[in-house]
Amino acid sequence: MKYNWQLIDWKEFSYNKEDLEDELFRFSEKVGVSKGLYESLSKQLKTDSLVEIMSDETINTSAIEGEIFSREDVRSSIHNNLGISSSQVRDKKAQGISDLIFKVRLDYTTPLSKVELFTWHKLVFPGKSNINAGAWRKGDLPMQIISGSIGKEIIHYEAPPSAEVNNEMIEFIDWFNSSAPKGKQEIKFAAIRSAIAHLYFESIHPFEDGNGRIGRAIAEKALFQSLGFPVMVSLSTVLQSNKSVYYNQLKKAQRTNQITEWLNYFIGALTDALDHSHELIKFTLFKARFFDKINTQINDRQRKALYKMLSTPNKKFEGGMTAKKYMSINKISKATATRDLQQLEEMNVFLVEGAGRNTCYQVNKDLE
The per-residue pLDDT for range 295-334, each reduced to its tens digit, is 999 999 999 999 989 877 767 888 899 999 999 999 999 9
Identity of residue 2: K
Q: How far apart are CA 295 and CA 302, in angstroms?
A: 10
Domain check: are 216 and 355 in the same one?
Answer: no
Is the pTM of the predicted complex or chain greater than 0.75? yes
Start-to-end Cα distance in the chain: 62
Taking the C-alpha atoms of residue 233 and residue 368, their distance in angstroms, rounded to an integer, is 30
CA nearest 252: which of 323, 156, 184?
A: 156
Task: Look at residues 317, 283, 287, 285 and name the one whose alpha carbon lies nearest to residue 303.
Answer: 287
CATH number for the domain that contains residue 358? 1.10.10.10
56 and 83 part of one domain: yes
For residue 153, give the CATH number of its domain.
1.10.3290.10
Q: Which residues are within 8 A (CB) of 4 and not within 5 positions of it... i.e. 6 or more apart?
A: 10, 203, 253, 254, 255, 256, 257
164 and 304, same domain (yes or no): no
Same domain, 208 and 170: yes
Inter-CA distances, 47 with 54, 83, 132, Å: 11, 11, 35
Q: Could you tell me which of 329, 285, 284, 283 has the C-alpha nearest to residue 306?
A: 329
Reported as a single tens digit per residue, the pLDDT across 192-246 is: 999 999 999 999 999 999 999 999 999 999 999 999 999 999 999 999 999 999 9
101 is in which domain, residue-wise? 4-283
